[in-house]
Amino acid sequence: MTKVLRIIARLNVGGPARHVVWLSQGLKGAGYETLLVAGVVPPGEDDMSYIAAEAGVTPFVVPQMSREVSPKDALTIWKLFRLMLRERPAIVHTHTAKAGTVGRVAGLLYRWVTLSVLFGRPRRCHFVHTYHGHVFHSYYGPLKTRLFLVIEKFLARVVTDRIVVVSHQQRREINETFRVGTPEQFAVIPLGIDVSVYAEWEKRRPIARAELKANENDVLIGIVGRLTEIKNHKLFLEAAARLQKLTTSSVRFMIIGDGNLRNELEAQAKSLGLHDSVWFLGTRKDPENFYPALDIVALTSLNEGTPLTLIEAMANARPVVATAVGGVVDLLGQPRHKADGYTLCERGISVRSGDAEGFAQALAHLIEDEGLRRDLGRRGLDFVTQHYAKERLLADVSELYAQLVDPVSLKAKATAPSSKEMSNRGIVPH
């Protein structure tokens, strides 16, 4: 078995936590033994450690590893360095910004702090970093953002063998716009989910809507995600208020998730006169049950990698309206028709970031066109089924690892003639 050390800052609610658990559990069959390392979820954020427990994955916890820059980072680096000395991994794979920084700095020490360096032989270990999103805009002020960008460029140059991004748009943004890494370092590996979980969404729909006391004429618009600044729920509520002036349909708004902005958002909904039509449902651990109830799924983020919520919405054949940020554009596909304030794409509707009026207009368009909702839902379901299955994710990451640890055998396998080719040449394989 090839040893992999997989590091993530924390297992909080979101796509990255599910992603690292699926990889840790799913790659065993491909010959990769993974030790998952994580920090502690801070107060105010929901913990998704139950996902790891359900998958039989027991994380190694480094309590000092936190999201924000802290003096404790030095201790985190030291602990990760000691852990690498103990585990002797062939691959260290970091996920998310903080883990990518402390994990790769520890990896730099691990690779070079050894007596064998005197003979020109640093420790052999391959380093991979996955950007699920990035912090190069919309998270911090200009000075801190610039500092993080300098650090990322340095780490990409001196200690990173491969950089994984979850969409082609994200690769263009990180490599071409922000100049991190070289083109040869990048591998585009989209997210993957267990699509079979959502296979019976049609049967679940009436049950889920009954739970929310929705009748057949109600249009339920949902947004799923942490109640934090980067998700920009304020825009969702502003669009909801504007939407009520654009449609006579009975519309209710479901906010699924929790976080530090909940009280502020509840106050905003009340000030906008939405307190009767906006429901704050909190964190739900059963996406297979609440997505089918929705008629439209919204996303208003300022910055995204590839949002898991949109993939899950599409897996339930739900039409989506989303701000055109990061990997969202790859999910929605090519533009088909531009309207005032929004663009109808192959698999959803995109809106300029921060445009509440455009978002409201897009929602109104979908509300009034049930046939379009069905068409976009079907297109999204077909796309996710073909391109975002968990099996494809595992195969892609397994191949990436093989390229690093055994490139000679992989190249030989790729160039070896197939049984059919040998048969055509008159050669019978033994």
CB 60 within 8 A of CB 35: yes
The CA-atom distances, in angstroms, between 283 and each of 195, 233, 274 are: 21, 15, 21
pLDDT in tens, 342-366: 999 999 999 999 999 999 999 999 9
pLDDT of residue 297: 98
Percent of the chain with pLDDT over 70: 94
pLDDT of residue 420: 46
Q: Average the pLDDT over 11-16 and give the result.
A: 85
Confidence of residue 414 (pLDDT cuts 50, 70, 90): low
Given a cut of 60, whether residue 197 has pLDDT beyond it is: yes
Given a cut of 70, whether residue 415 has pLDDT beyond it is: no
pLDDT of residue 333: 95
Question: In the numeric block, which tokens belong to residue 333?
Answer: 């596909």
pLDDT of residue 137: 67
User: In order of start, what are the domains of the chain with their CATH numbers?
Assistant: 2-192+390-415 (3.40.50.2000), 195-387 (3.40.50.2000)
pLDDT of residue 408: 63
Q: Average the pLDDT over 45-65 and give the result.
A: 92
Nearest to 304 by CA among 275, 321, 327, 287: 327
CA distance 189 to 201: 27
pLDDT in tens, 248-306: 999 999 999 999 999 999 999 999 999 899 999 999 989 999 999 999 999 999 988 88
Given a cut of 60, whether residue 325 has pLDDT beyond it is: yes
pLDDT in tens, 214-264: 998 999 999 999 999 999 999 999 999 999 999 999 999 999 999 999 999
pLDDT in tens, 81-111: 999 999 999 999 999 889 999 999 999 999 9
More confident residue, 426 or 198: 198
Given a cut of 90, whether residue 139 has pLDDT beyond it is: no
pLDDT of residue 248: 92
Nearest to 202 by CA among 374, 404, 76: 374
Confidence of residue 427 (pLDDT cuts 50, 70, 90): very low
- Average pLDDT of the chain? 91
pLDDT of residue 117: 76
CB 67 within 8 A of CB 76: no
Confidence of residue 413 (pLDDT cuts 50, 70, 90): low
Nearest to 399 by CA among 417, 411, 389, 416: 411
pLDDT of residue 419: 46
pLDDT in tens, 144-196: 888 889 999 999 999 999 999 988 988 999 999 999 999 999 999 999 999 99
Q: Average the pLDDT over 51-70 and give the result.
A: 89
pLDDT of residue 422: 39
Given a cut of 80, whether residue 143 has pLDDT beyond it is: yes
Q: Which of 4-18, 24-38, 56-70, 118-132 has the highest mean pLDDT?
A: 24-38
Query: Which residue type sits at 247?
Result: T
Confidence of residue 133 (pLDDT cuts 50, 70, 90): confident
Given a cut of 60, whether residue 418 has pLDDT beyond it is: no
Confidence of residue 12 (pLDDT cuts 50, 70, 90): confident
Given a cut of 50, whether residue 1 has pLDDT beyond it is: yes
CA distance 198 to 379: 15
Nearest to 312 by CA among 369, 213, 384: 384
Confidence of residue 15 (pLDDT cuts 50, 70, 90): confident
pLDDT of residue 285: 86
CB 152 within 8 A of CB 103: no
H or E stretch at 60: strand 60-61
| CB neighbour class for 299 (10 Å; exposed up to 12, middle 13-18, buried from 19) | buried
The CA-atom distances, in angstroms, between 44 and each of 38, 98, 261, 282 are: 17, 18, 10, 13
pLDDT of residue 135: 72
